[in-house]
Amino acid sequence: MAVAGVPIFGAIIDFTDGAEFITSAMQLDDPVYGLLGTGQLADSNDRVDISEIAVSGSIRRGRNRILDKFEAGTATIVLRDDNGYFNHSNAASPYYGKLLPLRKIQIFADYNGTRYPLFYGFVMSFTTNFQVGIDAYSKVTLQCVDGFRLLNNFHFTTVPTATAGETTGSRIGKLLDLASWPTVARKLDTGDSTVQADPGTANRGMLDEVQLVGDKTEFGGLFADNEGDLLFYSRTNLANRAANPSTIFSDSGSDIGYQTIELMHDDVLIVNDVTVQNLGGSAQQVIDSTSQTTYFPHVGVRSGIYLQTDAEALSQAQMLLATRKDATLRISSLGLNLFDPSDSAATRIQAGLSLDIFSPIKVTKTMPGSTSITKTLFVQGVSHDMTKRSFDTKLMTAEPVIKAFVLDNTSVGVLDGTDGLLSY
């Protein structure tokens, strides 16, 4: 039974082919979706709401801190299947013949009349566990992955019309064209860096290539968002996002509260010997000897990127060294209980459902010994664990990937401040 005033998760499967979700399947005699030019051609059973039979779900999306790259988002949905409709061999099922891998799925949460998107991806497998022994019912587990999986499956040799001097955003667009990624499912910045001509290397993976351009060459951010769009944030966009209004969390009682917080002080993110080399260029190495004396050498290498000049490769190396040479006390995650019907929980629930990757947040934790820590951070990953009686959200956080001096901003626009750095 649903509890009033708390988010309830649900999901919709779209059994049609292709990467685009059928949001308005044509329905005969319907006053809206029955109009020519409005409803997309699809069988009424091709888009199925499975919310009522969804027992539990989990979602994992974000950046791998160790590899310093975004990985494919994943999700799991467990369904109660009393009628055997999700049994692949059941010819009486209304979905018979449609239970195929890579069918599209949307996962969402409904809260106070608003639907919040949490995940968009593709069902990789339908695993059935029939009622037996102590199991009260038969269940089907859907293992899902986001659009990164489709890009990872595509390999190529050449990129038509890819030329030297075009921006990183333009190159990513041409790569996505090659992979037939829907244009309506892209949100691409222009990019600040320009790239070399495509090298024409054989048998390249599309996911590796767009990440090479967007993450490594641009030093930006490229990921699949919670609505299935492929987002590319330029370096400048990321720097400026740190100056945007932040969602404020604290344990003071005056801001949004949290249930758990994880602080870490380690050497995981330290890099004090950085080499950046563009394809065919000279290696640009920068070292911070003070950091090496304090923490021992920590080497980072970025090679084969498509920057056009050694000078820009050097600027990238200097920026990486400036932001990663020292160890600092980090707030690595926040845990939020969203299954809370109290009036005071509303802002926490809305934040937990709305915040996504690269959302800026400000977090304060008061600690024993009359000390406290306050950090302005980016959300770097989001996880949700959901049942009909619980909804737990975890925000993985990190310092801004790239920092910049932003005029007139009170935190990153302060001369001699530690949060405002002149970026390239």
**Which string of DSSP letters, residue by residue, matches 183-238?**
GGGEEE---S-BBPPP---SSEEHHHHHHIIIIIIS--EEEE-TTS-EEEE-HHHH
**Predicted structure pTM score:** 0.90
SS3 state at 416:
coil
Alpha-carbon dihedral sign for residues 329, 330, 336, 342:
positive
246-262+328-398 placed in CATH 3.40.50: no
Task: Give, for all 424 residues of the chain, the pLDDT tens digit.
Answer: 567 799 999 999 999 887 765 444 444 454 444 444 444 444 445 889 999 999 999 999 999 876 678 999 999 999 999 999 999 899 999 999 999 999 999 999 999 999 999 999 999 999 998 776 666 788 999 999 999 999 999 999 999 899 999 999 999 999 999 999 999 999 999 999 999 999 999 999 999 999 999 999 999 999 999 999 999 999 999 999 888 899 999 999 999 999 999 999 999 999 999 999 999 999 999 999 999 999 999 999 999 999 999 999 999 999 999 989 999 999 999 999 999 999 899 999 999 999 999 999 999 999 988 899 999 999 999 999 999 999 999 999 998 867 655 545 455 444 444 444 556 7
Q: What is the pLDDT at residue 233?
A: 97
The count of C-alpha atoms lying within 13 angstroms of the C-alpha of 116, restricted to the half-sphere facing its C-beta, is 18
Q: Identify the CA nearest to 40 among candidates 26, 61, 51, 56.
A: 26
Quickly tell me which residue has 């409803």 as its tokens.
Answer: 39
Distance (Å, whole) CA 251 – CA 372: 10
Distance (Å, whole) CA 312 – CA 317: 9
Residue 38 identity (one-letter amino acid): T
For 204-230, write each residue's pLDDT tens digit: 999 999 999 999 999 999 999 999 999
Q: Identify the CA nearest to 141 among candidates 231, 50, 211.
A: 50
Instruction: Compute how many other C-beta atoms are within 10 angstroms of the C-beta atom of residue 237.
Output: 17
For 322-352, write each residue's pLDDT tens digit: 989 999 999 999 999 999 999 899 999 999 9
DSSP-derived letter for residue 363 is E
* Domain ranges for the chain: 8-145, 152-233, 246-262+328-398, 273-324
Question: Which class in CATH covers the domain with range 152-233?
Answer: alpha beta
Q: What is the pLDDT at residue 116?
A: 98
Instruction: Compute how many other C-beta atoms are within 10 angstroms of the C-beta atom of residue 69.
Output: 14
Say if CB 111 and CB 6 are below 8 A apart: yes
CA distances (Å), origin 100, targets 33, 89, 107, 311, 373: 26, 12, 18, 50, 50
39-58 as b/e: b if 16+ CB within 10 A? beebeeebbbebeebbbbbb
Quickly tell me which residue has 């005029």 as its tokens.
Answer: 407
Q: Which two tokens stand for residue 72?
A: 């494919």
DSSP-derived letter for residue 194 is B
Q: Which two tokens stand for residue 372?
A: 């406290």
Say if CB 238 and CB 401 are below 8 A apart: yes
Distance (Å, whole) CA 336 – CA 258: 5
Instruction: Compute how many other C-beta atoms are within 10 angstroms of the C-beta atom of residue 24.
Output: 15
